[in-house]
Amino acid sequence: MSEQRFTFGQQLQRALLVFLSRLPARLQRLMAEPPVNSAGDTMAPDVALLMKLGESGPDYSDLPPAEARATTERDLLLFASRVEPCAIEEEIEASEEVQLTRYSNGTPSRGLILFFHGGGFVIGSRASYTAPARMLAHGTGADVVSVEYRLAPDAPFPAAQDDAVAAWRYVVEHAADWGVDPHRIVVAGESAGGNIAAVLCQQLRGEAVQPVLQVLIQPVTDLVEHRPSQDEFASSPALSAKQVAWFVRNYLPEGTDPADTRVSPFRATSLAGLPPAIVNLAGFDPLHDDGLAYATALLEAGVPAQVDREPGLVHGYLSYTAVSPSCRKATERLVASVSSALDRTAHTATKAR
């Protein structure tokens, strides 16, 4: 994938946002008073300012999916940090439908992270999630394989879930060629990608090779129950109720049962036997309660589940690392959390031998 080139106007927009994000917090508070949520959390001042600036922008859910994809792709790339490339960045065609990018800093690798980008199953790409993929590779010492799964409405449910299985089969088959133990593969994803990662773990349950860890970042876990955070943050510029409805409308074909466990992994009869989990939540996210409900259900099923909560942040903070120091630091904390989990799995494997 070639690096995105921006127009002068886009570069100016980025520079302005970066400048505003680095103003003293007291000035940011004067420009945009940070809201307080029902849990008593205060939004980070730089994020509150970014959200205020975003309120007046166009809403991609008013556009046809192809136009929305082009618009959001530009913005995602514009707002993301410029992260140093990895020593190895290779494009891989896993199948006719599934393309991958492998990020590696060379051997020996501490494992492999199979990563699924966010975007409501309709928008997003490997390219627009280059920054978090590189940050994960640099910060964990693991290879990262970022998946380009098919998007709705051209390829609606269950295409993304089928592509996830195909990507998993490919990396398991080729891990040894990359110097990676196939028993040290993590599955991770953000938002829709978190849904894909959770569903994949359920689909692989009982197989000889399973993920060593699942990292669910602000995941979509249940399209059946309506939880309080969806109402509290229904008008969030980061992810509104209107946008959620647009995603669902484009993703699910007419007549699809939202309780299907490939749509709503929370609805599985049992979560026992799934890999340990890190569930990452944001305090101002309409999906907050869905992610927390899934983490709670995992714990009740006897699955180790660590909940990492970013109280002052919004949905999709991984994509704002250039224009929000708070989002950049939170992403770094997420990377450190995954790295620590890889340490624990290595110790557990050593004791088991």
Q: Report the alpha-carbon distance of residue 276 to residue 50 in Å, rounded.
A: 34
pLDDT, tens only, 200-247:
999 999 999 999 999 999 999 999 999 999 999 999 999 999 999 999
For 101, other C-beta atoms within 10 Å of its C-beta total 21
The answer to whether 183 is a known catalytic residue is: no
Q: Which of 41, 222, 285, 289 is catalytic?
A: 285
Distance, in Å, from the CA atom of 286 to the CA atom of 256, rounded to the nearest integer, reads: 23
Q: Which residue has the tokens 């990396």?
A: 171
- For 253-283, write each residue's pLDDT tens digit: 999 999 999 999 999 999 999 999 999 999 9
Active site residue 191: yes
SS3 category, 305: strand
Residue 241: half-sphere exposure toward Cβ, Cα within 13 Å:
10
Quote the tokens at residue 316: 């999709």
Place of tokens 């940090």: 81
Q: Does residue 285 have an active-site annotation?
A: yes
Q: For residue 327, with 0-12 CB atoms within 10 Å meaning exposed, 13-18 middle and 19 or more buried, which class applies?
A: buried
To the nearest 10°, report the CA torsion of 248, 62, 121, 226: -30
DSSP state of 36: B
How many CA atoms does the CB half-sphere of 340 hold within 13 Å? 10
Report pLDDT digits (tens) over 301-338: 999 999 999 999 999 999 999 999 999 999 999 999 99
Q: How many Å apart are CA 265 and CA 200, to the nearest integer?
A: 9
Quickly tell me which residue has 């490997």 as its tokens: 126
Question: 168: Cβ–Cβ under 8 A, 6 or more apart, which residues?
Answer: 114, 185, 187, 200, 204
Catalytic residue among 109, 191, 236, 264: 191
* DSSP classification of residue 130: H
pLDDT-derived band at 64 (thresholds 50, 70, 90) equals: very high
Residue with tokens 């890999």: 275
pLDDT band, residue 251 (cuts 50/70/90):
very high
Give whole-number Cα distances, 190 to 64, 143, 244, 257, 270, in Å: 23, 18, 15, 23, 23
What pTM was estimated for this model as a whole? 0.95
Q: How confident is the model at residue 5 (pLDDT cuts 50, 70, 90)?
A: low
CB within 8 Å of 72: residues ≥ 6 apart: 60, 119, 123, 124, 128
Catalytic: which of 117, 315, 319, 324? Answer: 315
Residue positions counted in the chain: 353
